[in-house]
Amino acid sequence: GTLTINNVTLNNNKAADDGGAINNEGKLIIKNSNISNNTASGWGGAIFDEDLQLTITNSTLNKNTAKYGGAIHSYNGNIIITNSTLNNNKASDNGGAIHAETSKTNLTITSSTLNNNNAIYGAAVFNSGNMTIKNSKLNNNNAEYGGAIYNDGYFIANNCIFRYNSETNYDTGSK
């Protein structure tokens, strides 16, 4: 089925495994919402998405934490993020803000901001699938590898600003 979340705040939730605020197994639409300070010990500090559709519009995901995908983890999913902010998210391993796992995952980010995210691989995004980022800003993200983006898939950036991203083990901001 389809779940639509509109003008909702999801804060301070915890999951022992995956999806600190939401574990999605259907079509999920998030609009005009704030998802902050959520924690998962495994995948997706705020949202865990597997094999399905996730659309986020005009929303904020802030200060979420997990091992993989501080804010969002997707496995074989189709993620569309528009006019949204993903700031201050942290993964203890991959994907400070977003962890897009497997070559079947599709990620599109448009007119959004990803700032001050942290991870070991891919502070803003860890991508193994197909990713397009348009008209977006990725600033002040910090990782050991891939200051802004760690890309192990297909990646297109169009009209984006990448500024002050850092990585401690290579000399570029993206892999």
Q: pTM here?
A: 0.95
> b/e per residue, 117-156, with b = 16+ CB within 10 A?
bbbbbbbbbbbbbbbebeebbbbbbbbbbbbbbbbbbebe
pLDDT digits (tens, 9 = 90+) for 111-139: 999 999 999 999 999 999 999 999 999 99
The owner of tokens 């189709």 is 78
Beta carbons within 8 Å of 161's beta carbon, 6+ residues apart: 136, 137, 138, 139
For the chain, what is the mean pLDDT? 95
Is the pLDDT at 174 greater than 60? The verdict is no
SS3 label, residue 86: strand
